[in-house]
Structure 1
Amino acid sequence: MLAIIGGSGLTTLSNLQITSRKVVRTPYGEPSCPLTFGTIRGRPVVFLARHGYGHTIPPHAVNYRANLWALHSEKVQTVVSVASVGGIRRDLTPGMIAIPDQIIDYTYGRAFTFFDSDATPVTHIDFTHPYCERTRELCITAAQKAGEPVIVGGVYAATQGPRLETAAEINRLERDGADMVGMTGMPEAALARELGLSYAAIAVVANYAAGRAGSAAGIRMEDVAKVLKGAMARVRNILEHVVEAYGG
Protein backbone atom coordinates (compact mmCIF):
# COMPACT_ATOMS: atom_id res chain seq x y z
CA MET A 1 0.00 0.00 0.00
CA LEU A 2 1.06 3.58 -0.65
CA ALA A 3 1.09 6.29 2.01
CA ILE A 4 1.39 10.05 1.59
CA ILE A 5 2.77 12.19 4.42
CA GLY A 6 1.69 15.79 4.07
CA GLY A 7 3.65 18.69 5.50
CA SER A 8 3.10 22.45 5.69
CA GLY A 9 0.50 23.44 3.13
CA LEU A 10 -0.80 19.90 2.76
CA THR A 11 -2.65 18.95 5.93
CA THR A 12 -5.51 17.47 3.90
CA LEU A 13 -5.87 15.90 0.46
CA SER A 14 -8.88 17.42 -1.27
CA ASN A 15 -8.75 14.77 -3.99
CA LEU A 16 -8.87 11.91 -1.48
CA GLN A 17 -12.17 10.04 -1.28
CA ILE A 18 -12.12 9.16 2.43
CA THR A 19 -13.33 5.72 3.47
CA SER A 20 -12.19 5.59 7.10
CA ARG A 21 -9.92 7.01 9.77
CA LYS A 22 -8.01 4.95 12.29
CA VAL A 23 -6.27 5.79 15.55
CA VAL A 24 -3.13 3.65 15.71
CA ARG A 25 -1.32 2.93 18.97
CA THR A 26 2.42 2.40 18.75
CA PRO A 27 5.23 1.44 21.15
CA TYR A 28 6.59 4.95 20.54
CA GLY A 29 3.56 6.98 21.54
CA GLU A 30 0.91 8.75 19.52
CA PRO A 31 1.29 9.55 15.82
CA SER A 32 0.63 13.11 14.71
CA CYS A 33 -3.00 12.24 13.94
CA PRO A 34 -5.26 9.33 12.99
CA LEU A 35 -4.45 7.70 9.67
CA THR A 36 -6.88 8.59 6.89
CA PHE A 37 -7.71 5.79 4.47
CA GLY A 38 -9.29 6.41 1.09
CA THR A 39 -8.89 6.31 -2.65
CA ILE A 40 -7.53 8.61 -5.33
CA ARG A 41 -8.66 7.76 -8.85
CA GLY A 42 -10.00 4.54 -7.42
CA ARG A 43 -6.64 3.49 -5.99
CA PRO A 44 -6.14 2.91 -2.25
CA VAL A 45 -3.95 5.30 -0.29
CA VAL A 46 -3.24 6.24 3.33
CA PHE A 47 -2.72 9.87 4.31
CA LEU A 48 -1.02 11.24 7.41
CA ALA A 49 -0.60 14.94 8.25
CA ARG A 50 2.91 15.27 9.71
CA HIS A 51 2.08 18.35 11.77
CA GLY A 52 -1.43 17.18 12.71
CA TYR A 53 -4.63 18.12 10.92
CA GLY A 54 -4.60 21.50 12.66
CA HIS A 55 -0.92 22.07 11.82
CA THR A 56 -0.10 22.41 15.53
CA ILE A 57 3.00 20.20 15.89
CA PRO A 58 6.34 21.96 15.21
CA PRO A 59 9.04 20.10 13.25
CA HIS A 60 11.22 19.28 16.25
CA ALA A 61 8.25 17.87 18.18
CA VAL A 62 6.85 15.56 15.49
CA ASN A 63 6.79 11.96 16.70
CA TYR A 64 8.50 10.60 13.60
CA ARG A 65 8.91 7.13 15.05
CA ALA A 66 5.23 6.78 15.87
CA ASN A 67 4.23 8.11 12.43
CA LEU A 68 6.39 5.65 10.50
CA TRP A 69 5.59 2.75 12.82
CA ALA A 70 1.86 3.38 12.43
CA LEU A 71 2.12 3.32 8.65
CA HIS A 72 4.28 0.20 8.70
CA SER A 73 1.80 -1.56 11.02
CA GLU A 74 -0.94 -0.94 8.46
CA LYS A 75 1.04 -2.79 5.77
CA VAL A 76 2.25 0.35 4.00
CA GLN A 77 5.21 -0.45 1.78
CA THR A 78 5.88 2.86 0.03
CA VAL A 79 5.85 6.40 1.43
CA VAL A 80 5.83 9.65 -0.52
CA SER A 81 6.62 12.60 1.72
CA VAL A 82 5.61 16.15 0.81
CA ALA A 83 7.56 18.93 2.51
CA SER A 84 8.10 22.64 2.07
CA VAL A 85 11.66 23.94 1.75
CA GLY A 86 13.61 27.12 1.30
CA GLY A 87 15.51 27.42 -1.95
CA ILE A 88 19.27 27.85 -1.65
CA ARG A 89 20.33 26.98 -5.18
CA ARG A 90 19.63 29.73 -7.69
CA ASP A 91 17.09 27.77 -9.77
CA LEU A 92 15.09 26.68 -6.72
CA THR A 93 12.73 29.63 -6.74
CA PRO A 94 9.43 29.92 -4.84
CA GLY A 95 6.77 27.67 -6.31
CA MET A 96 9.22 25.19 -7.83
CA ILE A 97 8.95 21.49 -7.02
CA ALA A 98 12.00 19.26 -6.59
CA ILE A 99 12.62 15.55 -6.07
CA PRO A 100 15.78 15.53 -3.91
CA ASP A 101 18.26 12.67 -4.00
CA GLN A 102 20.48 13.42 -1.00
CA ILE A 103 20.24 14.65 2.61
CA ILE A 104 22.52 16.39 5.09
CA ASP A 105 21.24 16.10 8.66
CA TYR A 106 21.72 19.05 11.02
CA THR A 107 18.96 18.10 13.48
CA TYR A 108 19.60 17.23 17.12
CA GLY A 109 17.72 15.92 20.13
CA ARG A 110 15.16 14.01 18.05
CA ALA A 111 14.34 10.34 18.53
CA PHE A 112 16.10 9.22 15.38
CA THR A 113 16.24 5.41 15.45
CA PHE A 114 14.24 2.33 16.36
CA PHE A 115 17.46 0.61 17.45
CA ASP A 116 18.23 2.40 20.71
CA SER A 117 17.11 -0.20 23.23
CA ASP A 118 19.27 -2.60 25.21
CA ALA A 119 16.90 -5.32 24.01
CA THR A 120 17.85 -4.81 20.35
CA PRO A 121 21.18 -5.70 18.75
CA VAL A 122 23.37 -2.96 17.32
CA THR A 123 21.99 -2.37 13.84
CA HIS A 124 23.43 -0.25 11.04
CA ILE A 125 21.52 0.65 7.89
CA ASP A 126 23.06 1.61 4.58
CA PHE A 127 22.08 5.24 3.99
CA THR A 128 24.36 6.01 1.05
CA HIS A 129 21.30 6.85 -1.01
CA PRO A 130 18.70 8.08 1.50
CA TYR A 131 15.76 8.02 -0.90
CA CYS A 132 14.41 4.97 -2.69
CA GLU A 133 15.34 5.37 -6.35
CA ARG A 134 12.31 3.39 -7.52
CA THR A 135 9.95 5.68 -5.59
CA ARG A 136 11.80 8.77 -6.80
CA GLU A 137 11.34 7.60 -10.39
CA LEU A 138 7.67 7.00 -9.67
CA CYS A 139 7.32 10.65 -8.59
CA ILE A 140 9.35 11.98 -11.52
CA THR A 141 7.36 9.99 -14.07
CA ALA A 142 4.10 11.03 -12.43
CA ALA A 143 5.08 14.69 -12.70
CA GLN A 144 5.84 14.25 -16.38
CA LYS A 145 2.48 12.60 -16.99
CA ALA A 146 0.76 15.35 -15.00
CA GLY A 147 2.48 18.01 -17.10
CA GLU A 148 4.06 19.54 -14.00
CA PRO A 149 7.73 20.65 -14.22
CA VAL A 150 9.99 19.40 -11.45
CA ILE A 151 13.68 19.72 -10.69
CA VAL A 152 15.24 16.28 -10.53
CA GLY A 153 17.81 15.86 -7.78
CA GLY A 154 19.17 18.13 -5.10
CA VAL A 155 20.60 18.00 -1.59
CA TYR A 156 18.11 18.56 1.23
CA ALA A 157 19.54 20.11 4.41
CA ALA A 158 17.46 19.12 7.43
CA THR A 159 17.65 21.75 10.18
CA GLN A 160 16.17 21.77 13.66
CA GLY A 161 13.62 24.59 13.51
CA PRO A 162 11.14 25.84 14.32
CA ARG A 163 12.87 29.14 13.61
CA LEU A 164 14.12 29.84 10.13
CA GLU A 165 17.84 30.06 9.49
CA THR A 166 20.13 33.08 9.53
CA ALA A 167 21.74 34.25 6.31
CA ALA A 168 25.11 33.07 7.66
CA GLU A 169 23.71 29.63 8.37
CA ILE A 170 22.39 29.38 4.82
CA ASN A 171 25.85 30.37 3.54
CA ARG A 172 27.27 27.50 5.58
CA LEU A 173 24.70 25.04 4.23
CA GLU A 174 25.54 26.12 0.70
CA ARG A 175 29.26 25.57 1.34
CA ASP A 176 28.36 22.11 2.64
CA GLY A 177 26.65 21.35 -0.67
CA ALA A 178 22.99 21.85 0.25
CA ASP A 179 20.54 23.01 -2.41
CA MET A 180 17.43 23.39 -0.27
CA VAL A 181 16.63 23.57 3.43
CA GLY A 182 13.75 22.11 5.42
CA MET A 183 12.98 20.93 8.94
CA THR A 184 11.28 17.55 8.57
CA GLY A 185 13.42 15.47 6.21
CA MET A 186 15.23 13.79 9.11
CA PRO A 187 14.89 11.50 10.93
CA GLU A 188 11.85 10.59 8.83
CA ALA A 189 13.85 9.23 5.89
CA ALA A 190 16.19 7.18 8.09
CA LEU A 191 13.34 5.71 10.13
CA ALA A 192 11.60 4.67 6.93
CA ARG A 193 14.79 2.91 5.86
CA GLU A 194 15.04 1.12 9.21
CA LEU A 195 11.52 -0.26 8.69
CA GLY A 196 12.24 -1.30 5.12
CA LEU A 197 9.85 1.25 3.64
CA SER A 198 10.45 2.65 0.15
CA TYR A 199 10.60 6.40 0.76
CA ALA A 200 10.95 9.48 -1.44
CA ALA A 201 10.22 13.17 -1.00
CA ILE A 202 8.51 15.85 -3.04
CA ALA A 203 9.98 19.17 -1.94
CA VAL A 204 8.00 22.34 -2.57
CA VAL A 205 10.04 25.55 -2.56
CA ALA A 206 8.03 27.93 -0.38
CA ASN A 207 10.53 30.79 -0.25
CA TYR A 208 14.06 31.88 -1.00
CA ALA A 209 16.33 30.79 1.85
CA ALA A 210 17.54 33.52 4.18
CA GLY A 211 19.88 36.01 2.53
CA ARG A 212 19.16 34.79 -0.98
CA ALA A 213 17.69 36.88 -3.79
CA GLY A 214 14.20 37.99 -2.87
CA SER A 215 14.67 37.51 0.88
CA ALA A 216 17.11 40.29 1.74
CA ALA A 217 14.41 42.10 3.69
CA GLY A 218 13.37 38.92 5.49
CA ILE A 219 10.88 36.12 4.90
CA ARG A 220 7.20 36.95 5.34
CA MET A 221 4.98 34.04 6.35
CA GLU A 222 2.01 35.45 4.44
CA ASP A 223 4.06 35.28 1.25
CA VAL A 224 5.04 31.69 2.04
CA ALA A 225 1.39 30.75 2.54
CA LYS A 226 0.43 32.20 -0.84
CA VAL A 227 3.18 30.30 -2.63
CA LEU A 228 2.26 27.03 -0.92
CA LYS A 229 -1.40 27.41 -1.76
CA GLY A 230 -0.65 27.56 -5.47
CA ALA A 231 2.13 24.98 -5.46
CA MET A 232 0.18 22.39 -3.49
CA ALA A 233 -2.49 22.31 -6.20
CA ARG A 234 0.27 21.15 -8.55
CA VAL A 235 1.50 18.64 -5.98
CA ARG A 236 -1.99 17.15 -5.71
CA ASN A 237 -2.00 16.74 -9.47
CA ILE A 238 1.32 14.90 -9.30
CA LEU A 239 0.11 12.73 -6.42
CA GLU A 240 -2.93 11.65 -8.41
CA HIS A 241 -0.60 10.25 -11.05
CA VAL A 242 1.68 8.72 -8.40
CA VAL A 243 -1.23 6.84 -6.84
CA GLU A 244 -2.60 5.77 -10.22
CA ALA A 245 0.77 4.42 -11.37
CA TYR A 246 1.46 2.72 -8.04
CA GLY A 247 -1.95 1.08 -7.98
CA GLY A 248 -1.59 -0.01 -11.60
Structure 2
Amino acid sequence: MAKKNFIAVRKQLRSGNYDEGDLEITREYLNASIDYMIAHLEKVQYNLEQSNGNGTEARITAVQDRISQLQEEKEAIGNASGLEELATAASSVRGTWNNAKQSAVAETGKTASERIDKLLDKSEDIAERLENEIDAMKEAGIETAELEAKLANYNELMDSAEEKTEAAEEIFEKEDATPEELEEANKYLQNALEEIHEANEVLKEIFGKLEPYREQYRLEEQNQESSQIGNEDVDDSADDTEDEDDA
Protein backbone atom coordinates (compact mmCIF):
# COMPACT_ATOMS: atom_id res chain seq x y z
CA MET A 1 0.00 0.00 0.00
CA ALA A 2 2.83 2.43 0.89
CA LYS A 3 4.49 1.86 -2.48
CA LYS A 4 1.21 2.26 -4.35
CA ASN A 5 0.52 5.55 -2.59
CA PHE A 6 4.04 6.78 -3.29
CA ILE A 7 3.74 5.99 -7.00
CA ALA A 8 0.53 8.01 -7.05
CA VAL A 9 2.22 11.18 -5.69
CA ARG A 10 5.60 10.78 -7.37
CA LYS A 11 4.59 12.96 -10.31
CA GLN A 12 3.66 15.83 -7.98
CA LEU A 13 6.95 15.50 -6.15
CA ARG A 14 8.93 15.69 -9.38
CA SER A 15 7.01 18.72 -10.60
CA GLY A 16 7.34 20.50 -7.26
CA ASN A 17 3.57 20.71 -6.92
CA TYR A 18 3.16 18.80 -3.67
CA ASP A 19 1.83 19.33 -0.17
CA GLU A 20 2.58 18.05 3.32
CA GLY A 21 0.38 15.02 2.75
CA ASP A 22 2.50 13.99 -0.23
CA LEU A 23 5.63 14.30 1.90
CA GLU A 24 4.06 12.11 4.56
CA ILE A 25 3.24 9.46 1.94
CA THR A 26 6.87 9.59 0.80
CA ARG A 27 8.04 9.24 4.39
CA GLU A 28 5.79 6.21 4.93
CA TYR A 29 7.07 4.59 1.75
CA LEU A 30 10.71 5.08 2.75
CA ASN A 31 10.04 3.73 6.24
CA ALA A 32 8.25 0.69 4.80
CA SER A 33 11.23 0.08 2.51
CA ILE A 34 13.62 0.23 5.46
CA ASP A 35 11.41 -2.15 7.46
CA TYR A 36 11.67 -4.62 4.58
CA MET A 37 15.46 -4.23 4.48
CA ILE A 38 15.77 -4.75 8.23
CA ALA A 39 13.51 -7.81 8.10
CA HIS A 40 15.70 -9.26 5.36
CA LEU A 41 18.87 -8.70 7.37
CA GLU A 42 17.28 -10.13 10.51
CA LYS A 43 16.53 -13.29 8.54
CA VAL A 44 20.17 -13.41 7.43
CA GLN A 45 21.22 -12.94 11.06
CA TYR A 46 18.95 -15.77 12.20
CA ASN A 47 20.35 -18.14 9.57
CA LEU A 48 23.88 -17.25 10.62
CA GLU A 49 23.02 -17.91 14.26
CA GLN A 50 21.83 -21.40 13.34
CA SER A 51 24.98 -22.24 11.38
CA ASN A 52 27.54 -22.38 14.25
CA GLY A 53 30.37 -22.03 11.74
CA ASN A 54 33.81 -20.53 12.17
CA GLY A 55 33.72 -16.74 12.31
CA THR A 56 29.94 -16.73 12.64
CA GLU A 57 29.98 -14.34 15.59
CA ALA A 58 31.88 -11.70 13.61
CA ARG A 59 29.49 -12.10 10.69
CA ILE A 60 26.48 -11.68 12.94
CA THR A 61 28.02 -8.52 14.38
CA ALA A 62 28.54 -7.15 10.87
CA VAL A 63 24.88 -7.77 10.00
CA GLN A 64 23.75 -6.17 13.26
CA ASP A 65 25.82 -3.09 12.41
CA ARG A 66 24.02 -2.82 9.07
CA ILE A 67 20.67 -3.10 10.82
CA SER A 68 21.68 -0.32 13.21
CA GLN A 69 22.66 1.88 10.27
CA LEU A 70 19.26 1.37 8.66
CA GLN A 71 17.52 2.19 11.94
CA GLU A 72 19.51 5.43 12.05
CA GLU A 73 18.44 6.16 8.49
CA LYS A 74 14.85 5.65 9.57
CA GLU A 75 15.29 8.23 12.32
CA ALA A 76 16.73 10.67 9.78
CA ILE A 77 13.67 10.20 7.58
CA GLY A 78 11.41 10.83 10.56
CA ASN A 79 13.26 14.07 11.30
CA ALA A 80 13.33 15.28 7.67
CA SER A 81 11.25 18.44 7.30
CA GLY A 82 11.12 18.85 3.54
CA LEU A 83 11.47 17.13 0.21
CA GLU A 84 15.16 17.94 -0.11
CA GLU A 85 15.96 16.37 3.25
CA LEU A 86 13.84 13.35 2.38
CA ALA A 87 15.66 12.99 -0.93
CA THR A 88 19.02 13.15 0.85
CA ALA A 89 17.86 10.56 3.38
CA ALA A 90 16.54 8.31 0.60
CA SER A 91 19.88 8.48 -1.21
CA SER A 92 21.67 7.56 2.00
CA VAL A 93 19.30 4.63 2.54
CA ARG A 94 20.03 3.30 -0.95
CA GLY A 95 23.76 3.43 -0.30
CA THR A 96 23.42 1.72 3.07
CA TRP A 97 21.13 -0.94 1.64
CA ASN A 98 23.38 -1.71 -1.32
CA ASN A 99 26.33 -2.18 1.01
CA ALA A 100 24.26 -4.21 3.46
CA LYS A 101 22.84 -6.41 0.73
CA GLN A 102 26.26 -7.21 -0.73
CA SER A 103 27.69 -7.80 2.72
CA ALA A 104 24.83 -10.15 3.57
CA VAL A 105 25.40 -12.13 0.38
CA ALA A 106 29.10 -12.45 1.17
CA GLU A 107 28.56 -13.44 4.81
CA THR A 108 25.90 -15.99 3.87
CA GLY A 109 28.19 -17.35 1.16
CA LYS A 110 31.07 -17.75 3.60
CA THR A 111 28.86 -19.71 5.96
CA ALA A 112 27.62 -21.94 3.14
CA SER A 113 31.17 -22.59 1.94
CA GLU A 114 32.18 -23.62 5.46
CA ARG A 115 29.41 -26.20 5.50
CA ILE A 116 30.65 -27.53 2.18
CA ASP A 117 34.20 -27.64 3.55
CA LYS A 118 32.97 -29.92 6.35
CA LEU A 119 31.39 -32.24 3.80
CA LEU A 120 34.63 -32.29 1.83
CA ASP A 121 36.64 -33.15 4.94
CA LYS A 122 34.30 -36.06 5.68
CA SER A 123 34.59 -37.24 2.09
CA GLU A 124 38.36 -37.62 2.46
CA ASP A 125 37.90 -39.93 5.44
CA ILE A 126 35.24 -41.92 3.62
CA ALA A 127 37.41 -42.27 0.51
CA GLU A 128 40.37 -43.45 2.57
CA ARG A 129 38.32 -46.10 4.38
CA LEU A 130 36.82 -47.32 1.11
CA GLU A 131 40.22 -47.48 -0.53
CA ASN A 132 41.55 -49.61 2.31
CA GLU A 133 38.52 -51.88 2.13
CA ILE A 134 38.82 -52.30 -1.63
CA ASP A 135 42.56 -53.00 -1.33
CA ALA A 136 41.83 -55.73 1.22
CA MET A 137 39.30 -57.28 -1.15
CA LYS A 138 41.80 -57.13 -3.99
CA GLU A 139 44.45 -58.88 -1.90
CA ALA A 140 41.87 -61.57 -1.15
CA GLY A 141 41.55 -62.23 -4.88
CA ILE A 142 38.21 -60.45 -5.39
CA GLU A 143 37.69 -58.52 -8.64
CA THR A 144 37.59 -54.82 -7.70
CA ALA A 145 37.98 -52.98 -11.03
CA GLU A 146 34.40 -51.66 -11.00
CA LEU A 147 34.66 -50.52 -7.39
CA GLU A 148 37.98 -48.81 -8.07
CA ALA A 149 36.48 -46.96 -11.04
CA LYS A 150 33.51 -45.79 -8.99
CA LEU A 151 35.76 -44.63 -6.17
CA ALA A 152 37.91 -42.72 -8.67
CA ASN A 153 34.75 -41.07 -10.02
CA TYR A 154 33.69 -40.16 -6.48
CA ASN A 155 37.08 -38.60 -5.74
CA GLU A 156 37.05 -36.62 -9.00
CA LEU A 157 33.63 -35.16 -8.22
CA MET A 158 34.64 -34.19 -4.70
CA ASP A 159 37.93 -32.68 -5.93
CA SER A 160 36.01 -30.61 -8.46
CA ALA A 161 33.56 -29.49 -5.77
CA GLU A 162 36.50 -28.46 -3.60
CA GLU A 163 38.01 -26.36 -6.42
CA LYS A 164 34.71 -24.56 -6.98
CA THR A 165 34.27 -23.94 -3.27
CA GLU A 166 37.75 -22.44 -3.03
CA ALA A 167 37.02 -20.20 -6.03
CA ALA A 168 33.85 -18.98 -4.32
CA GLU A 169 35.65 -18.35 -1.04
CA GLU A 170 38.24 -16.17 -2.78
CA ILE A 171 35.45 -13.92 -4.06
CA PHE A 172 33.60 -13.81 -0.74
CA GLU A 173 36.79 -12.68 1.01
CA LYS A 174 37.19 -9.68 -1.31
CA GLU A 175 36.16 -6.44 0.38
CA ASP A 176 35.23 -4.81 -2.93
CA ALA A 177 33.48 -7.75 -4.58
CA THR A 178 30.92 -6.57 -7.13
CA PRO A 179 27.35 -7.92 -7.28
CA GLU A 180 28.33 -9.76 -10.46
CA GLU A 181 31.28 -11.41 -8.72
CA LEU A 182 29.12 -12.41 -5.76
CA GLU A 183 26.61 -13.93 -8.14
CA GLU A 184 29.45 -15.86 -9.77
CA ALA A 185 30.60 -17.08 -6.35
CA ASN A 186 27.11 -18.33 -5.53
CA LYS A 187 27.06 -20.21 -8.83
CA TYR A 188 30.35 -21.84 -7.87
CA LEU A 189 28.78 -23.02 -4.61
CA GLN A 190 25.66 -24.23 -6.36
CA ASN A 191 27.74 -26.23 -8.83
CA ALA A 192 29.83 -27.60 -5.96
CA LEU A 193 26.69 -28.79 -4.17
CA GLU A 194 25.43 -30.43 -7.35
CA GLU A 195 28.71 -32.32 -7.71
CA ILE A 196 28.59 -33.38 -4.06
CA HIS A 197 25.06 -34.68 -4.62
CA GLU A 198 26.26 -36.60 -7.68
CA ALA A 199 29.21 -37.95 -5.67
CA ASN A 200 26.83 -39.15 -2.95
CA GLU A 201 24.87 -41.08 -5.55
CA VAL A 202 28.10 -42.76 -6.64
CA LEU A 203 28.83 -43.47 -2.97
CA LYS A 204 25.49 -45.25 -2.63
CA GLU A 205 26.42 -47.42 -5.61
CA ILE A 206 29.75 -48.28 -3.99
CA PHE A 207 28.09 -49.23 -0.71
CA GLY A 208 25.59 -51.32 -2.64
CA LYS A 209 28.41 -53.21 -4.35
CA LEU A 210 30.30 -53.67 -1.08
CA GLU A 211 27.39 -54.91 1.00
CA PRO A 212 27.45 -58.56 -0.21
CA TYR A 213 31.17 -58.79 0.55
CA ARG A 214 30.68 -57.14 3.92
CA GLU A 215 27.89 -59.60 4.71
CA GLN A 216 30.12 -62.48 3.67
CA TYR A 217 32.92 -61.11 5.86
CA ARG A 218 30.54 -60.82 8.82
CA LEU A 219 29.43 -64.43 8.33
CA GLU A 220 33.03 -65.60 8.13
CA GLU A 221 33.82 -63.73 11.34
CA GLN A 222 30.81 -65.29 13.04
CA ASN A 223 31.86 -68.76 11.84
CA GLN A 224 35.37 -68.18 13.12
CA GLU A 225 34.03 -67.06 16.48
CA SER A 226 31.70 -70.06 16.63
CA SER A 227 34.58 -72.36 15.73
CA GLN A 228 36.75 -70.84 18.43
CA ILE A 229 33.97 -71.21 20.97
CA GLY A 230 33.44 -74.81 19.86
CA ASN A 231 37.13 -75.59 20.20
CA GLU A 232 37.17 -74.02 23.64
CA ASP A 233 34.20 -76.18 24.65
CA VAL A 234 35.97 -79.30 23.36
CA ASP A 235 39.10 -78.37 25.27
CA ASP A 236 37.09 -77.75 28.42
CA SER A 237 35.33 -81.11 28.03
CA ALA A 238 38.66 -82.85 27.53
CA ASP A 239 40.00 -81.20 30.65
CA ASP A 240 36.92 -82.28 32.60
CA THR A 241 37.33 -85.86 31.35
CA GLU A 242 40.96 -85.91 32.38
CA ASP A 243 40.01 -84.63 35.82
CA GLU A 244 37.40 -87.38 36.18
CA ASP A 245 39.92 -90.04 35.10
CA ASP A 246 42.42 -88.78 37.63
CA ALA A 247 39.76 -88.98 40.30
Q: Same fold, TM exceeding 0.5?
A: no
Which of 1 and 2 has higher RCO (CA within 8 Å, sep 6+)? 1
Larger Rg: 1 or 2? 2
TM-score w.r.t. the length of structure 1 is: 0.23
TM-score w.r.t. the length of structure 2 is: 0.23
